C-alpha cells in the first residue's frame, strides 16, 4: 500500500529512454514495457543522437515517454530498473554485457526529490539536447519546477546539432 500514492492520485511522469546497442530491439522492448506501466501514454518522435562525452561508441536512439502513474517515485524507479535488466543487457557467454537500455525519471509531476537513489527533476535534463528536444516536442511550454524556467529556454542556450529525428515512435 505504501507503494501507491495517496487516494490513488495519478501523477504525470516523463521518462527518458535510450539505447545504443541493438537499439531497434531494445527500444521496442523498453517502450512496450513502459506502455504497460503508464496510462494515457504518449511518446515523442524517435531520435538518433550522437554520443556525448565518451564519443567512441555507436549513436544512440532516444525518446521521451509521458504518461500517468499511481506508483510512488521509488516504486516506479524500481520498475524501470527491472525493465533495464530484462531488455538492456546482452548475454555474451557467461558474462553480462554492457547495459543497452537506459530509463530515467525526468519529471514526476511537479515534485522535487533529492533522495539518495532518486533525484527529480533529473539533474541532466537541462544539459542534454537529446532529452530537451523530445521533451519539448511532447509539451512545448513545459517548465522546470525547480527553476521555474521553461525547458525550451534551456534548449535555446545549448549548441544545436547531433540530434536527428528518425520518425514516429511506436
CB of 167 to ligand AMP, least distance (A): 26
Read off φ and ψ for residue 27, nearest 5 degrees: -65, -45
Applying CB under 6 A, among 9, 24, 40, 117 the residue interacting with ligand AMP is 117
Task: Name which position in 90, 102, 137, 144 contacts ligand AMP (CB under 6 A).
Answer: 102
Asked whether position 112 contacts ligand AMP by CB under 6 A, the answer is no
Question: Which residue's entry shows cell 527533476?
Answer: 121
Name which of residues 4 to 43 contact ligand AMP (CB under 6 A): none
Known catalytic residue at 89 = yes
- 117 a catalytic residue: no
Residue of 102, 111, 117, 144 with catalytic role: 102
For 156, phi then psi, to 5°, come to -65, -20
Stretch that binds ligand AMP, among 42-50, 118-126, 129-137, 144-152 (CB under 6 A): 118-126
> Is the four-CA dihedral 92, 98, 100, 104 of positive or negative sign?
positive
Select which of 48, 59, 89, 144 is catalytic.
Answer: 89
Q: Quick check: is 7 catalytic?
A: no
> CA 31, CA 65: separation in Å to the nearest integer?
8
Closest CA to 17 of 105, 137, 95: 105
118 counts as binding ligand AMP under rule CB under 6 A: yes
Helices (H) and strands (E) in the chain, counts: 4, 10
Q: What are phi and psi of 80, to 5 degrees?
A: -65, -40
Site string for ligand AMP, 122-141 (x = CB under 6 A): x-------------------
At 32, give phi and psi (nearest 5°).
-65, -35
Residues with catalytic annotation?
89, 99, 102, 104
List interacting residues with ligand AMP (CB under 6 A): 77, 102, 104-105, 117-120, 122
Amino acid at each position: 500500500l505504501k507503494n501507491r500514492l495517496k487516494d490513488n492520485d495519478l501523477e504525470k511522469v516523463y521518462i527518458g529512454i535510450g539505447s545504443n546497442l541493438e537499439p531497434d530491439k531494445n527500444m521496442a522492448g523498453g517502450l512496450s514495457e513502459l506502455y504497460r506501466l503508464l496510462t494515457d501514454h504518449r511518446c515523442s518522435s524517435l531520435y538518433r543522437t550522437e554520443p556525448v562525452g565518451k564519443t567512441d561508441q555507436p549513436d544512440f536512439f532516444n525518446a521521451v515517454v509521458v504518461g500517468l502513474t499511481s506508483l510512488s517515485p521509488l516504486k516506479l524507479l524500481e520498475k524501470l530498473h527491472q525493465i533495464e535488466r530484462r531488455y538492456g543487457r546482452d548475454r555474451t557467454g557467461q558474462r553480462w554485457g554492457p547495459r543497452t537500455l537506459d530509463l530515467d525519471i525526468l519529471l514526476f509531476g511537479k515534485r522535487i526529490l533529492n533522495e539518495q537513489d532518486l533525484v527529480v527533476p533529473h539533474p541532466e535534463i537541462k544539459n542534454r539536447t537529446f532529452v530537451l528536444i523530445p521533451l519539448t516536442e511532447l509539451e512545448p511550454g513545459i517548465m522546470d519546477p525547480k527553476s521555474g524556467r521553461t525547458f525550451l529556454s534551456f534548449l535555446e542556450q545549448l549548441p544545436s546539432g547531433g540530434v536527428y529525428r528518425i520518425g514516429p515512435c511506436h
